Structure 1
């Protein structure tokens, strides 16, 4: 599968790795971010692979802005065949108010819903599409709101996969974080004191990019509704 890929929700090392992998797989790239500068490095990485690439400014929690961004991609690069949306649930500071919790968890889930909904029409027109969500939960263990985001994305992905399947569109979730046993323990035991380790995210970028490349390709045409865990080691 080739065509246009949309990358949203990330910047930095992971974004560059994802952009490079998608470009190497033959995709032109649109990087959605809060400013034109947010996706510059990812765009430059894609262009070095000979692909067309551009940044598109978007306010991810506003439905109209998200739709306008996808329409811009459709008109200027072509209809998106792949959506790669990264949800960075890496909060380490405590949330003291119910409103803070609602805004944090609900905001991240809203972003995933809005961008996934916006790409469905152009994908349906093509009769194909790949929606891949990466949930980055490499923050401090024991954060109940991070677990809520991950669980919400799992349910959303499975529902989206069922609804999109008749149109040749797949939806999958990649969870980057502690091993499944460690995740379960972290949701029961108190968090470990001290700041979260910063190294895990960058070290996992290449592995995550390889999985994304597979899920975006033709070999994954019948892989949908799956949750793939990429476990950080104890050293992360």
Structure 2
């Protein structure tokens, strides 16, 4: 039976493409999003390439909802071997003007913590696992809260890597830089048999997006067993606020 990957972040274009790549690499796929419909096209693509797949609705800031979803994946597809968690932030207001800092910043970090915590038990039970977080978080002047999110993800990833290493579980963070464009789903997942092969368009700045998917696919594989706690930048680095 194929290894199972959980993708948390359905509807986030860069993440949808990476999840599609994992299916092409041979992983069965569970897609978690705000609704089952949000992950439908990723599930359809996974099934077209011969993989088992399901889409589940989840409230990512609710511990019970997240745990229930992971338990359902474990029961229907099998224990998760890979977690792909895509954190997308395009917060634009200056930090002191954000009306609800916890919702804007703390909520994104809580989401990463809850889904990582939920997959650890089955991964520890199996003695192996890969947790890959993708930070699609634009940082620049006037976006200090985005910088806070990214710094939080870096610290959390390193802490998780240290704690999980003894159980054979790795944790790494991939940062999408300015050169990575989030394409529309129609560009990256063909809608019918005979359509062009899925993947990011390999032209201009979009080459970096193909590298993003390839980087995550590597980190999800057996060859990356010795890599943990790393922060890997793909695409041009954006300016720090």
Distance in structure 2 (CA, Å) of the matches to 1:139 and 1:167: 34
2:225 aligned residue: 221
Compute the displacement of 1:164 (Å): 0.3
Distance in structure 1 (CA, Å) of the matches to 2:145 and 2:10: 19
Q: Which ranges of structure 2 fall in alignment gaps of 5 or more residues?
A: 184-205
Secondary structure in structure 2 of the residue aligned to 1:66: helix
> Which 4+ runs in 1 deviate beyond 4 A?
93-99
Instruction: Work out whether residues 80 and 119 of structure 2, in 8 Å CA contact, stay in contact via their aligned partners in 1.
Output: yes
Out of 123-132 and 94-103, give the one that drifted further: 94-103
Compute the displacement of 1:231 (Å): 2.4
Scaled by the length of structure 2, the TM-score of the pair is 0.83
Compute the displacement of 1:139 (Å): 6.4
Q: Which ranges of structure 1 fall in alignment gaps of 5 or more residues?
A: 180-198
1:119 aligned residue: 119
Distance in structure 1 (CA, Å) of the matches to 2:25 and 2:98: 43
Change (3 A) 1:103 1:233: closer
Compute the displacement of 1:93 (Å): 4.4
Out of 57-66 and 17-26, give the one that drifted further: 17-26
Distance in structure 2 (CA, Å) of the matches to 1:118 and 1:158: 18
Deviations 1:63-100 (CA, angstroms, capped at 9, x unpaired): 00000000000000100000000000122345664652
Deviations 1:186-209 (CA, angstroms, capped at 9, x unpaired): xxxxxxxxxxxxx82233432211
1:210 aligned residue: 214
- RMSD (CA atoms): 2.1
Scaled by the length of structure 1, the TM-score of the pair is 0.85
Instruction: Work out whether residues 59 and 65 of structure 2, in 8 Å CA contact, stay in contact via their aligned partners in 1.
Output: yes
Compute the displacement of 1:14 (Å): 1.8
Deviations 1:17-44 (CA, angstroms, capped at 9, x unpaired): 1122111111000000111111111111
Distance in structure 1 (CA, Å) of the matches to 2:157 and 2:58: 22
Aligned residues: 215
